[in-house]
Structure 1
Amino acid sequence: MGACTQQSNFCSYQNTDVFSKKTFQYLENLMYSKKVEKDHHLFVDNDPADRLYYLKQGQIKITKMNEEGKELVLYIFQAGDLIGELGISTESRYSYSAKATRTCEVGIIQQKDLETIIWQHGEFAVEFMRWMSNMHAITRSKFRDLMLYGKKGALCSTLIRLANSYGIMTPEGIVLSQHFTNTDLAELIGTSRETVNRMLSQFKKDGAVIISDGTIIITSLEYLKTACSCENCSIEICRI
């Protein structure tokens, strides 16, 4: 599974890195595979939360729709990530949707099977709790940045997270290996594309970013960190 580097990829961390090779094998033994076509849903808001998904290939976007019909992107999961949550009862349901942004292959783990290995293997239970704690910490930190530091702070925080998830170190700066439009960025912070346009224009004037043929290059990570009062969270928390 992934690890951070300082020369090629800025970071290749997956949220399953909290599991040891031995305990992750328990999960792999439970999985059965499913293909999810691009733009199809893995699950939708209010579906039963009775299984987990291991993303073997592709990309999954987790979204929540507000009362005005505007979509907020909560997470973007990559190959190697574990998706979902363990319901506290058989009636638990998802409060968000998961959509494939490209063709995916996922491993599906039923809750009843997951509960069995939690009961049988204490080391797995500890690592699973650590995974859940990390996912909750990611969510808390994202909402903290949005609530405390406004749209500018939220955008700066999002660019840092994107750098940690997709950044490649180059002499010019940190190049995001995946293309993100201003609309994509707006969905990640719950604002309009026009607002993102204005903020990025200011960032460019301030020398913090370069945008070349739609590719974002971060030239001043310190500028972004200052704007969102960065707390230098660990790499497993500071990700998109």
Structure 2
Amino acid sequence: MKKLCFLLSALTFSTLSFAQDLRCTQDYSKLEQQIQDEVKIIQTGTIEDLIKHYQATDYAQVFRAQHGGQVFDGEDWIDEKAYLENTEESFHLLKDAYTSQHLQFHAAKANFLAAYGEVCVIPISAIDQIYQEKIYSQYDAIFVRDLKTNQWRNLVYSGVELKADMDEFFPQLSQKVKLAAFTTDDGQNYADLSEKLAYLIFPKIGIAMTKDIVQGVKQETDPLRQRLKENGFNLKGYF
């Protein structure tokens, strides 16, 4: 895995940056709009609209050249064809099943200038519904503003990201702020919710939860739980 190299001692700005250089607070409405636009596209747009939106707002897209054109899917770098297929499949699964009922941006837990841009870490709480299941969740979103273009991009943190990827995306971020892993009000982490959604969605689309399917789901989600442990998050054993 290639990493971006920064001369941190020379290029990284102090966390005590002048307030006039920071735009996160005044741009809150723009940042909220990025997340809301994604929801709106899922509900009323096309897969082409969604891909275009991700290309414009997904922070990891900036690093594709360092990964042979692969795309970061929130967990790993994968082949672009697989990414597009997975995104399209998820889009069609969610289009008629998903609604966003509440989205709240809380006060930023960190806002500073770095060599790679202005960084703003914002806790978000949300209420989503998939079929008849309501999901109350909290997570951190990391927004980065390009200092040349003033364009904001974001990465929603789940807690399963590899340390190498986070170090590449956000050098020294862990020294400045403690990120919170995705969690739900009933104690599910990202891996737990992924597993729960499989049990919820698969029967709706005609996939029976056979022993083999259950085992396959476990094979996908257990490594995510291991990543959470490696990133220092305690697991409550929801599943």
TM tier, smaller: under 0.3
Give the TM-score normalised by structure 1.
0.27
Higher relative contact order (CA 8 A, sep 6+): 1
Give the TM-score normalised by structure 2.
0.27
